[in-house]
Amino acid sequence: MLDELDFSVIWDNFHFLLEGMGLTLWLTLLAIGGGIIFGTILALCRLSHIRLLSFVAGSYVNFLRSMPLILVIFWLYFLVPLVIGRPVGTFYSVLVAFVMFEAAYYCEIIRAGIQSVKKGQIFAGQALGMTYKQNMQYIVLPQAFRNMIPILVTQAIILFQDTALVYVVGLADFLVVGERIATIENRTIEVFLFIAFVYFVMCLVGTILVGKLQRKYAL
């Protein structure tokens, strides 16, 4: 059976696959950026002494972490255009879903990171006359993020894999493009083998990167 495999289908459609991978990576990158920014804000709220803020942020995190990602993607696919009042395109509604969902996870990572910074460091910043914001910006968050780099990258790898779920709303990412090619060319096994191989290699590279970063940035 193996000698019947014909991988020329990959080369013939390479630019389509490349475009699909481009979308997958672009979505991953934007979702990581947005997720970390929103997640940091959530984490600061969760750690706030203002009860209402920490309650709202905590509820948000717990709620989204109890939801399957695929459901969030589906919801926002229908909800975002309704809220905004006009169609925004599949890509943006999916991006919003990922940012909102990932922020809940990043929040918990960042919260742990902030708590990993010794109390004495905060005292030292305060004693020098730094405000809460300055202390966070120059002392706490830089150290927190250094401590968190390995787990942030791990989360990014998971996110990269999770982007395949945009399949449910038909966004042309790597997997969806591949699936279409597989159907049209009737080469399911070759295409899906190739897709699996690419995901595997990229995640493996990511994992190796985690180890490198861990050594480089360890304080």
Residues of this chain that bind another protein (CB under 8 A): 118, 120-121, 123-131, 134, 138-139, 142-143, 146, 219
Name which of 128 and 204 has its Cβ closer to another protein: 128
Query: Which residue has tokens 């809220």?
Result: 83
**Of 102, 100, 89, which is closest to residue 170 (Cα–Cα)?**
89
HSE (CB half, 13 Å, CA atoms) of 150? 12
Q: Which two tokens stand for residue 24?
A: 């997958």
Chain CA centroid to CA 171, Å = 17
Instruction: Assign 140 to helix, strand or coil.
Output: helix
Query: Which residue has tokens 């203002």?
Result: 50
CB of 125 to another protein, least distance (A): 8
Q: Which two tokens stand for residue 18?
A: 């490349």
CB of 165 to another protein, least distance (A): 36
CB of 174 to another protein, least distance (A): 37
CB of 117 to another protein, least distance (A): 10
Separation between Cα atoms, residue 110 and residue 105, nearest integer Å: 9
Name which of 18 and 128 has its Cβ closer to another protein: 128
Query: Which residue has tokens 């940035």?
Result: 217
Q: Which two tokens stand for residue 7?
A: 């991988």
Name which of 151 and 193 has its Cβ closer to another protein: 151
CB of 110 to another protein, least distance (A): 16
Name which of 55 and 217 has its Cβ closer to another protein: 217
Name which of 44 and 100 has its Cβ closer to another protein: 44
Environment class of residue 151 by beta-carbon count within 10 Å: exposed (0-12), middle (13-18) or buried (19+)? Answer: middle
